[in-house]
Amino acid sequence: MSFFLTTDQYRNKTKTVTRRLGWANLKPGEEFMGVVKGQGIPKGGKIERLHAVKCVSNRREPLDEITQDDVDKEGFPHLRPIEFIKMFCKHNKCDPWQVVNRIEFTHL
């Protein structure tokens, strides 16, 4: 899973929640590898692995229902929920009411 926009938060383990338009099939207990960037790597380039994490929970919820606590867990304690929603929508080209997968994980 790519953490291009939150590489620092992932590395320093302050990010424990992520919202994704995909990854609906990820199940609690499954482990996955965080990477800096997973797509758009130039020919001959290599995927930079970060470290493994384990899924705690994965549930569907509207993006615009995010709480301040979850904004903090996303690694953005300096943002208010509306600011996080605007940033997410800009980078994912979606609407604030988009139903997303809220994935909580623990760092291994």
State the CATH number of the domain containing residue 72: 3.10.400.10
Neighbours of 23 (CB within 10 A): 15
Question: What is the reported pTM?
Answer: 0.92
Range of the domain at 74: 7-107
User: Is the residue at 37 inside a domain?
Assistant: yes
Question: How far apart are alpha carbons 83 and 86 in whole angstroms?
Answer: 5
- Would you state the structure tokens that stand for residue 13, as one six-digit string? 């383990």
Residue 76 has what DSSP assignment? -
**What pLDDT, on the 0 to 100 scale, is given for residue 44?**
75
Closest of 18, 13, 21, 19 to residue 51, by C-alpha: 13
What is the distance between the terminal CA atoms of the chain, rounded to a whole angstrom? 15
**What pLDDT, on the 0 to 100 scale, is given for residue 39?**
65
User: Is the residue at 70 inside a domain?
Assistant: yes
User: Is the residue at 1 inside a domain?
Assistant: no
* pLDDT tens figures, 34-90: 999 866 667 777 889 999 999 999 999 999 999 999 999 999 999 999 999 999 999
Total domain count, the chain: 1
